[in-house]
Amino acid sequence: MTERTLIKNLAAATDGPVSVSGWVDTVRDQKKVQFVVLRDESGAVQLVHPRALELGGSQSDPATPAPSELASEDPLADVISSLSVGTFLTATGELKHDERVKLGGVEIKLDDIAIAAAANPETPIADDTGVDKRMDWRFLDLRQPKNNLIFRVQTTLEHAWRTYWVEHDFIEIHTPKLMASASESKAELFEVEYFEGKAYLAQSPQFFKQMAQPAGFGKVFEIAPAFRADPSFTSRHATEFTSVDAEISWIDSHEDVMRLHEELIVAGFTAVKEKHGEEILAAFGVEVTVPTTPFPRIPLAEAKRIVAERGYTVPRNDADMDPEGERQIAAYVKETFGHEFVFLTDYASSIRPFYHMRHADDPGLTNSYDLVFNGVEISTGAQREHRVDVLIEQAKDKGLEPEELEFYLDFFRFGAPPHGGFGMGLSRVLMLMLHLPNLRETTYLFRGPTRLTP
């Protein structure tokens, strides 16, 4: 039995016997010759089968049998004629290099087809089907080469990030996703039954990645699911998402966290551009740009003034930047600095969590930032407050009961280094990198307020 060859490797293979496996993309069933485009996880190839009819004479010859009468003489032709799009099969035949073949410059003259699983003849989605319907049939939608590329890009991006972390002596952690209390806001918690009591799905690994700092780990990272009970139906929200988190000890300010963050982004984008840049340009019409460092940094109050000068006023002065404000400040940064990224810094303590460290000379501001990429916020980072007495007072300022935070506060009662970190949404980064309109496209299986399947 000939060993399976991935389609992407056919161009480098020598002419001769070959076996490929995949699913049927298209069938052209002509009178004299049949063509099948077979696709696998790596690419597509043309399979060719000259009909036995071609060997028997012409259609004008009364002695030439009709195609239906050739079944016994050409059973392979009947198999090909019956193929439906999506059928998974193994094809064996003779590989031939031919520069006239548009699809990869190779084709396979068929000897045999072994069907692994036939597909229903009518598919429920097409190229122009809306995103919600495509999500119903996501396993079919993912067969599209563009979608395959998205998740190969995701793999390269995550690998580059992990490589950066490992080479810089970070420790990978796996934090629990069942929690006894909220890590941020109770308003966004999913509550689940837990034996005789209640548990909550983790909104982030915030408390646990901070715990690693007094544990003496120094630098940690995690790529894992997070859950938000947020009933938003926007193009950039999900109830379950993949969070990219890092936390580091012995920092002087949030500037150290931003420096780590931008270095990580550069490492990931460099790897994606080198490995997939040409494919991304061909599939999405997007040229991946590796950002220069340092990224622009603009205090939030100044960013709001800039946006107002551009003709848009953020509705509430004491609130975060809204989506239109993010788009406007990103446009300004692109025009002024030629950059796709901007750190918005120095957020008001009134709109930040109790554990963000406040400015030494202005307790109304925090050592924190949001990272905006192509007009959308992808991450929040900060220096954390590590002094337990200050933490308690800041929790009280937020209307929280310190008694409900005892397990968290205990982390800091036996000494803790100055530390900080960030959390970042993986699907958002991919969505904005590839200039796609919706993070449903860059999420393997999307979960939202009305979607729990497939």
In tens digits, the chain (454 residues) has pLDDT values of 679 999 999 999 999 999 999 999 999 999 999 999 999 999 999 999 999 854 444 444 545 555 545 445 899 999 999 999 999 999 999 999 999 999 999 999 999 999 999 999 999 999 899 999 999 999 999 999 999 999 999 999 999 999 999 999 999 999 999 998 766 666 689 999 999 999 999 999 999 999 999 999 999 999 999 999 999 899 999 999 999 999 999 999 999 999 999 999 999 999 999 999 999 999 999 999 999 999 999 999 999 999 999 999 998 777 899 999 999 999 999 999 999 999 999 999 999 999 999 999 999 999 999 999 999 999 999 999 999 999 999 999 999 999 989 999 999 999 999 999 999 999 999 999 999 999 999 999 999 999 999 9
Give pLDDT, residue 62. 47
Answer yes or no: is 380 a known binding residue.
Answer: yes
Residue 245, phi then psi, degrees to nearest 5: -125, 150
Q: Which domains are seen in the chain, by residue range?
A: 7-117 (2.40.50.140), 135-433 (3.30.930.10)
Q: What is the rounded CA–CA span in Å between residue 437 and residue 283?
A: 15
- Strands in 191-194's sheet, in edge-to-edge order, are 178-179, 197-201, 191-194
Q: Does 427 count as an annotated binding residue?
A: yes
- Find where tokens 């239906």 sit: 68
In contact, 235 and 438? CB cutoff 8 Å: yes
The predicted structure's pLDDT at residue 181: 77
Tell me if 425 is assigned to a ligand binding site.
yes
Return the sign of the alpha-carbon dihedral for residues 329, 330, 334, 335.
negative
Is 64 flagged in the annotation as binding? Answer: no
CA distance 359 to 370: 16
Rounded to an integer, what distance in angstroms lies between the CA atom of residue 175 and that of residue 183? 12
List all residues 6 or more positions away from 250 whose beta carbon is below 8 Å from its beta carbon: 218, 417, 418, 419
> How many other CB atoms are found less than 10 A from the CB of residue 302?
14
Model pLDDT, residue 184: 62
pLDDT at position 410: 97
Is 84 labelled as part of a ligand binding site?
no
The pTM for the full model equals 0.92
CA distance linking residue 261 with residue 291, whole number of Å: 12
What's residue 56's pLDDT? 46
Backbone dihedral angles phi then psi of residue 299, each to the nearest 5 degrees: -60, 145
CB 230 within 8 A of CB 186: no
- Identify the helix (H) or strand (E) that includes residue 107: strand 106-117
Is residue 284 packed enough to be buried (19+ CB in 10 Å), middle (13-18) or exposed (0-12)?
middle
352 is in an annotated binding site: no
CA–CA separation, 169 and 147 (whole Å): 34
The 10 Å Cβ neighbour count of residue 190 is 14
pLDDT at residue number 182: 67
